[in-house]
Structure 1
Amino acid sequence: MLWNTEGFAGPLAAVCSGIPARLRPPADALPVPSAEGWTRRIQPSIARHFVDLARADIDEPWPQPRASAAARVHRDGDRDGYEQQVFARQRRLSRAVVAALSDDDPRYLDEVADGVWLLCEQSTWCWPAHDDTFARHGSVLATVTDPFLDLGAGEVVGQLAWIDHVLGRRLDDRYPGLRQRMRHEARSRVIAPFLRRRDWHWLGLDGHVHNWNPWIHGNVLVAALVLCDDGAERDAVVALVAQGLDRYVAALPADGAIDEGYAYWWNGACRALEALDVLAYATDGAWDPIPAVTSLRETVAFPHRSHLGGPWYVNAADGPARPPADQPWHALHRAARTVGDDDARRHAAAQRRPDLPATEDAGLGRLLRALTDDAWVAAAPSPGPLPAEVWLPSTQVWLARGRAGSAAGLTVVLKGGHNDENHNHNDVGSLIVASDGVPVIVDAGRPTYTAQTFGPDRYDIWTMQSDWHSVPRVSGMAQDHGAAFAASDPVIVRSDEMRALDLEIGGAYPAGSVRSWRRRAALHRSGHVTIDDRWEAAGPDTEVRLLLAGSVTTGDGWARVRPLDGATPVRITWPAAAPHTLVVRELDDPMLTDVWGERLSRLAVDVDGRAELRVTVEQERNEDERP
C-alpha cells in the first residue's frame, strides 16, 4: 500500500509518501505479545497486583451506565455522573485482561468476556455530551442506527482491539463467537461511520485541529489493524488515519508547544506520537516519521519544559496546575528514546513508580505497552532536567528559574497568546510565580466539566474570566474572548542582572479601554521576581490583580503568602500608597479543591492615577520573619 497522496499532504506525507508499505497481518499488527508470550514479559509482583484487583472485582456488580444519567447533560448539564460509570466499567475490564494474561484461572477470562459483552450490549460508546443525536434526531439518548464517533467510542473500540490481540485465541476456545460480535460492533459503530461520514469536526477539515484528532485516529488505527480483515478496506482506513494524523502534525508548531497546556499534551501530541509509533510497527518501519519531523521531536520536550517542580506544572486554559501523577510516562520515555532527547527521557524516568510502571487509568493499550516495554520497566529514576529558561514562541509562554536542575527559589512564568486558544481562558498576560516549585501566584484551572463548559455561556464560569486570572482589570473592563484579543510584540530581555519577557497585552481588552499596556516579568540574579506594568490612557477603575494560593495576609504595600506543600513563604510588595483589596474565593468543586484546597485569594492593587506599577516577589530568608 502507498500513502494516500490524493488527500491532505503535510509533514508526514513529505516523509512517507512514495515509500512502499505493507501492513502486518491482523494477528501480528500491534507491538505487544499475545497471551502465549505474555508470561515471559511481566514481572511477578506486577502480575499479582492486577490479579488481586481483578479477584476483588469479581465479587462486585459491574458499573451500569443508565439512561437517566445519560440524559442529564441535556437537563441540568451534568455529564460527569454518566462518564464516571463508563470509565469505571472500562478500567475494571482492563484489570481483568492483565489478570487473565497473568493467571490461568478461568474466572479472569470469564470476567473479560463479561466486560466485552457489556460493552457490546451498551447502547452507545459515545459520551452523551459529545453526541449529535439531539441536533440530528431530537433525541436525548443515543440513536443506535446513527452512532457518533467521539473520544468515548474510540476508547471502547481501541480497548476491544487490544483485547482481541492479546486474548483472541483463548476467547475463541472458551467463548466461540464473541470475537465475531466484537468485530460486528466495531464495524457498525466505528469503522463504517469513519469511512462514511467526513463531517466529523475533529478531522480538522476546516483548519481547526485539536487533541480529538490524534486521540480518535489512534484508536481507529488500532481497531482497523486488528479487527478488519487484511485487504482493501483495512488499507483504506489506515490511509485515512494517516492523512488525519498528518493534519494534526501540520498544525503542531515547530516548537512543539500545546496551547491547552501540559495536562492536554498527554491526549494530544502524545496520542499522535503513540499512533505513529504503532503505524511504524505495523508497516515494519517503512512509515516512521517521528525522528524526521521537527515539531514531533520538539513536542517530546514539552512536558519537562512545563515542569515547575514535584507534581506541579505550568497550566494554561483548562489544564490543572497539579495534574494526576498517573500519566503514561512510558509513552514519553519511548518517544524520547526514539528522538534521542535525553532530558525528556530522564524526566519520564523520574516519574516511574518502581513497584508499578503503569495503571489501568489511562486505558488498556497504554497499560499493555507499558508492561511490555522492557526499557521502561528497567528505567532507573534520575533527577529531572528543570531547564533554567524556556521560551515557546508559538504560544508566547516564557519560564525562568534561578538554576537549571533545581526547583529551589522562585520560578516565574508569563503567558501571552490570544483568547481563542483550545480550551481557552481569557488569560493574555497571565502570570505564575512558584516558590520551590509550588505555585503561589497561580492560574486556577477549571472546575468539573458540564454542558456549560463548551456551550455559549462558557465565559460565565468564573475560572474562564480574566477577572480571576493574574492580569489587570482595565478601565473597569475584563478581557474579551476571540482570536483578535491577543498579546503582541514579545521581547525577550537578557542581561547579567536578569532574564525577562516584555510584551504588549492591551490588545486583549475591549477597544477604547487602554491605548497600550506593556507587562514585563523578570527573574533577577539575586533570586527575586519583578512584575512591571506600564500603560497609556487607561480609565478609572483600573487594577493589577494577582490570584494567590496558600495562606495570605496583607498590609499597606505588602502581602505575605505561606504556600501549599510547605514551600518557602513569599513576600509580595508594591508602593504603599497604592491601596489594595483582598477577596477570598471559597472552592467547592473537586477539580479545584484537589489542587488548591478550600480557597484562593485575589489581590487587587488600585492603580488609578498611575501610569506604571512594580510588584516585587521575594522568598523570605527566615520562615519566622514577619512583615
Structure 2
Amino acid sequence: MTAASLPAPDVADRSFWASCRVVETLVPTLATADTERATPWPQTLASQYARFFRDGDRTVYEAQVAARHARLTRATLAALLDPSAERVDEVVDGVLLLCEQSTWCWAAHDDTFGRFGRVTPTVTEPYLDLGAGEVAAQLAWVDHLLGPALDERAPGIRWRVRHETQARVLRPFADRRDWWWLGVDHPIMNWSPWIQGNVLAANLALEEDPSRRRAVTALVAEGIAAYWASLPADGGVDEGYHYWWQGAARALEAQDLLGFAGIEPEQAALDRIRATVAFPHSMHLGGDWYVNVADGAARPLATWPWNVLHAWALRVGDDAAARHAAARRGLPGGLFDERASLPRAVRMLSDAAWTEAPAAAPPLVGRALFPSTGVAVARSAPGSARGVAVSVKGGHNGENHNHVDVGSVIVALDGVPVVVDAGKPTYRAGTFGPDRYELWAVRGDWHNVPRVRGAEQAPGERFGARGFEVSDGEADSHPWRARLDLAGAYPVDGLEHWWRETTLDPDAETVTVEDSWTFADAGAPASADGPTAWHWLLAGDVTLTRGGALVRFTPDGGPTPARTLALTWDAEAADAEVDLRELDDPELAAVWGEHLTRLRLTARAEAPSGTFRVTMRPTGSGPQEVA
C-alpha cells in the first residue's frame, strides 16, 4: 500500500479510462453528466432536514442527499473519461457543496434533537452514522481518482476535503469508542461494517499521518473481525437478503480494503465468510425475486455489487455462489449501473475477473436451511424456477429490523412470490421508535401467521418459535417438511402448543400448511379477545371460490404468468373474507404494484385442540420457465 491510496486506477491511467470497454459502458452516464452540468445542483435545505423532527418525514431530505451524491458520481466518471476543465470544475463544485453541507449525518440518525432540542444540525458535535460514512467515502474516492486534476484546477480543494473528513469522521471514529454500532451495549448489526468500511476508505485515501493511518486501519480490522464473529456459523442473516448487501457485503468490501492495506482475515473470519457467501443464492426464488424477511424487499430496489459476491465466491471456492453472481453479469446494470455509489461503481468497472466473467445460469438450489435464524427454503424443481418454492420463517420477534412473523410462509409459483411478505416500508420517524409495531407491514396480522383467539404475536426476543426442525432437507426429489411450535410467540393463556407443519410435495407441486393446536382449558376462554383466524397475504388478483381462492400475479416488467395458484381449505371450518390493501407506500408499490390482498379465514368454533389445513397448488397451463 502506498501512502494515501485506494485500489483502483486513477485519472492518470489512460489505458484504463480511455479503453473502449469503459468508454462504451459509460456513454449514457457521460451524456447525463454533460446535460446536468448546466443545471443547479440538488440542494439540502434546513426545512427538509427539520421535517424528520417535525412530521417524521425523512425521505425528502435523504432524496436530495442521494441526488447530490449521484450527480457527483456521474461528474467524477465523466471527468475520468475526459478530464477537461469544465468537467473537473463540475466535480469541484460537487465536492465543495459536500464540504459546506452543515452535516453529513442523516436527520433520522442525528442526536441533535435529543441532546440539544435542535432541529438544525449541531456543527460542533458531528454524529458518525451511515450518511457521514457515505460522504467520507465518496470524497475519498473522488480525491484518489482525480487528485492531480483537482490540484491543477482548484488548488486547496483537497485540503478542504481532508479538513472536513478529519473533523467529521476520522477523529470521531478514532477518539470515541462508545459508538453503539461498534457493539457497545447493542448487538452488532449492519451499521458496523457499513460505517467502518467507509471510514477505512477515507483513512486510506485522506489520512496523511502514517501512524494515525495505521492506528485507524487496525481499529477497523478489529471491528470487521468482530462483525464476522457475530454472524452465525451457518451463514444465516436475521435481517434477510436485502440487508445482506448492506451488512455482509459491506464487510466483504471492507475486507478487500484491509487486504489492500496488508491485513488478511483470520481463519475464523474466513469460515464465517465462506458460510455467508452462500446466503444470497439460497434465498433466490427466480428472476430478480428473493425470499424476504424483516425489512427486506422481495425484489431489489437498489443496485447490488454482484462483483463483490462473485470475487469472494471464487476465493472461498463456492461455485454455486459464483454462478449466482455471474448470472447477473449479462443483465442490464450487471457491468455498471449509475445508481451504484461511486466506490461500488469504480470497483465494479475495474474488476477484471467480473467484467470478463462468462455467462452463467443461477443454481436455484433445491433445499436451504439456516438453523440459526430458523429460515428454510425448498423448491419442487431444483435448478429451475418452474414449479413451486416455499420458505418458512422461525426465529423470534426481537431480531434486527424485526417483523412479527414467526412461522410465516412464503410461496412462489414459477419463480414469482404469490403468497408473500410485504417487506420493507418506506422509513419514517416512527419506523424504529415505540410505534414500530403499529405499522401494518410489520404487524403479525399482515404476515402469513394465525391470530390466536384474537391475539396477534407479540414483539420481543422472548416471543419465538420452539422445536424448529426440517426433514429431508438434502433430498431434493423427496417430500420436504418444516415443523415448528408457534405457541411461544403468542401471549395467550393456556396455549400449550401450536404446531405448524409445512410440506412440499415436489412431484405434485403442492404446498400444505397444517396447524395443530392444544390448549390447557377445556373450552373457549371466557375473556376471548376475538376468534382465531388464519391470514394469508397475496399478491396480484384474488378470486374467492367455494372453499378456495385463486391468485394470479403479473408483476410490472415480468412475463404474463402461465398459471394460477389455487388455495383450498375446509370451508365448513372457517369463513373466508378478503381485505384489499391499497399501496400508497412507494417502496411497497414498486415491488407489488397497486395493492396486496389479505385472505382471512376465521374459525367458526374455538376448540381446545384441533387441526386446520391450507393446500396450495398451481392450476392452468404447463410450468413457465423463468431465468
* Both structures adopt the same fold (TM-score exceeding 0.5): yes
Q: CA deviation at 1:166?
A: 1.1
| Distance (whole Å) between structure 1 residues aligned to residue 191 and residue 549 of structure 2 | 42
| Distance (whole Å) between structure 1 residues aligned to residue 236 and residue 406 of structure 2 | 16
The AA in structure 1 aligned to 2:516 is R
Q: Does 1:118 align with 2:97?
A: yes
CA-to-aligned-CA distance 1:154-188 (integer Å, 9 cap, x gap) = 00000111111111111111111111110000001
CA-to-aligned-CA distance 1:533-577 (integer Å, 9 cap, x gap) = 100127561112111111101123111111224332011101121
Q: Find the partner of 1:327 among 304, 322, 326.
A: 304
1:295 matched residue in structure 2: 272
Q: CA deviation at 1:326?
A: 2.4
CA-to-aligned-CA distance 1:95-116 (integer Å, 9 cap, x gap) = 1111111113221111111100
Q: Does 1:336 align with 2:313?
A: yes
| Distance (whole Å) between structure 2 residues aligned to residue 367 and residue 360 of structure 1 | 7
- 1:146 match: secondary structure: coil
**Greater CA deviation, 68-77 or 542-551?**
542-551
1:262 matched residue in structure 2: 241
**Structure 1: segments with no counterpart, 5+ residues:** 1-23
Q: CA deviation at 1:325?
A: 6.0
Q: CA deviation at 1:421?
A: 0.6
1:231 matched residue in structure 2: 210
Q: Does 1:176 align with 2:132?
A: no
CA-to-aligned-CA distance 1:600-621 (integer Å, 9 cap, x gap) = 1111222334511111101004
**Greater CA deviation, 81-90 or 350-359?**
350-359
1:598 matched residue in structure 2: 594
Aligned 1:477-516 pairs, distance under 5 A? 477-494=455-472, 497-512=478-493, 514-516=495-497
| Distance (whole Å) between structure 1 residues aligned to residue 597 and residue 467 of structure 2 | 31
- 1:614 match: secondary structure: strand
Aligned 1:126-205 pairs, distance under 5 A? 126-205=105-184
| Distance (whole Å) between structure 1 residues aligned to residue 331 and residue 499 of structure 2 | 47
Say if 1:214 and 1:268, in contact at 8 Å, map to a contact too. yes
TM-score normalised by structure 1 residue count: 0.92
The AA in structure 1 aligned to 2:421 is D
The AA in structure 2 aligned to 1:33 is P
Q: Does 1:72 align with 2:51?
A: yes
Change (3 A) 1:462 1:292: closer
Q: How many equivalent pairs are there?
A: 598
Say if 1:441 and 1:548, in contact at 8 Å, map to a contact too. yes
| Distance (whole Å) between structure 2 residues aligned to residue 590 and residue 407 of structure 1 | 28
2:288 matched residue in structure 1: 311
Q: Does 1:517 align with 2:494?
A: no
- 2:12 match: secondary structure: helix
Change (3 A) 1:47 1:358: closer
CA-to-aligned-CA distance 1:485-521 (integer Å, 9 cap, x gap) = 0001112122875111001111100041622101011
Change (3 A) 1:144 1:177: same
The AA in structure 1 aligned to 2:151 is D
Say if 2:83 and 2:149, in contact at 8 Å, map to a contact too. no
- 2:212 match: secondary structure: helix
CA-to-aligned-CA distance 1:341-390 (integer Å, 9 cap, x gap) = 11111111111246651223231111110111111111222110010001
**Greater CA deviation, 532-541 or 401-410?**
532-541
| Large movers: runs of 4+ above 3 Å | 288-292, 353-356
Change (3 A) 1:38 1:243: farther
- CA-based RMSD of the aligned residues comes to 1.8
Change (3 A) 1:325 1:402: farther
Q: CA deviation at 1:205?
A: 2.1
The AA in structure 2 aligned to 1:376 is W
Q: CA deviation at 1:590?
A: 0.9
Say if 1:291 and 1:338, in contact at 8 Å, map to a contact too. no
2:543 matched residue in structure 1: 553
Q: Does 1:250 align with 2:229?
A: yes
Q: Does 1:575 align with 2:552?
A: no
- 2:148 match: secondary structure: helix
The AA in structure 2 aligned to 1:528 is T
1:420 matched residue in structure 2: 398
| Distance (whole Å) between structure 2 residues aligned to residue 96 and residue 38 of structure 1 | 17
| Distance (whole Å) between structure 2 residues aligned to residue 77 and residue 193 of structure 1 | 27
Change (3 A) 1:332 1:497: closer
1:10 matched residue in structure 2: none
Q: Does 1:536 align with 2:536?
A: no
Change (3 A) 1:325 1:140: closer
The AA in structure 1 aligned to 2:396 is H
Say if 1:326 and 1:358, in contact at 8 Å, map to a contact too. no
| Distance (whole Å) between structure 2 residues aligned to residue 370 and residue 606 of structure 1 | 51
Q: CA deviation at 1:39?
A: 4.0
2:616 matched residue in structure 1: 617
Change (3 A) 1:580 1:47: closer
Q: CA deviation at 1:400?
A: 0.5
- 1:206 match: secondary structure: coil
- 1:515 match: secondary structure: strand
- 2:578 match: secondary structure: strand
Say if 2:9 and 2:16, in contact at 8 Å, map to a contact too. no
| Distance (whole Å) between structure 2 residues aligned to residue 513 and residue 187 of structure 1 | 59
The AA in structure 1 aligned to 2:70 is R
Change (3 A) 1:189 1:383: same
Q: CA deviation at 1:293?
A: 2.0
1:21 matched residue in structure 2: none
Identity %: 50
CA-to-aligned-CA distance 1:392-417 (integer Å, 9 cap, x gap) = 11111011101211010110111001
Say if 1:46 and 1:355, in contact at 8 Å, map to a contact too. no
Say if 1:398 and 1:413, in contact at 8 Å, map to a contact too. yes
Q: Does 1:53 align with 2:32?
A: yes
Q: CA deviation at 1:40?
A: 2.2
1:457 matched residue in structure 2: 435
Say if 1:414 and 1:430, in contact at 8 Å, map to a contact too. yes
| Distance (whole Å) between structure 2 residues aligned to residue 238 and residue 330 of structure 1 | 24
2:553 matched residue in structure 1: 563
The AA in structure 2 aligned to 1:534 is S
| Distance (whole Å) between structure 2 residues aligned to residue 513 and residue 433 of structure 1 | 31
| Distance (whole Å) between structure 2 residues aligned to residue 479 and residue 368 of structure 1 | 45
CA-to-aligned-CA distance 1:253-299 (integer Å, 9 cap, x gap) = 1111111111111110000011011110121xx52448962111111
Say if 2:381 and 2:506, in contact at 8 Å, map to a contact too. no
The AA in structure 1 aligned to 2:8 is V
| Distance (whole Å) between structure 2 residues aligned to residue 401 and residue 336 of structure 1 | 23
Say if 1:39 and 1:102, in contact at 8 Å, map to a contact too. no
| Distance (whole Å) between structure 1 residues aligned to residue 405 and residue 269 of structure 2 | 34
Change (3 A) 1:497 1:182: closer
| Distance (whole Å) between structure 1 residues aligned to residue 324 and residue 494 of structure 2 | 44
The AA in structure 1 aligned to 2:205 is V
Say if 1:276 and 1:290, in contact at 8 Å, map to a contact too. no
Change (3 A) 1:232 1:325: closer
| Distance (whole Å) between structure 1 residues aligned to residue 13 and residue 331 of structure 2 | 23
**Structure 2: segments with no counterpart, 5+ residues:** 623-627
The AA in structure 2 aligned to 1:620 is T
2:625 matched residue in structure 1: none
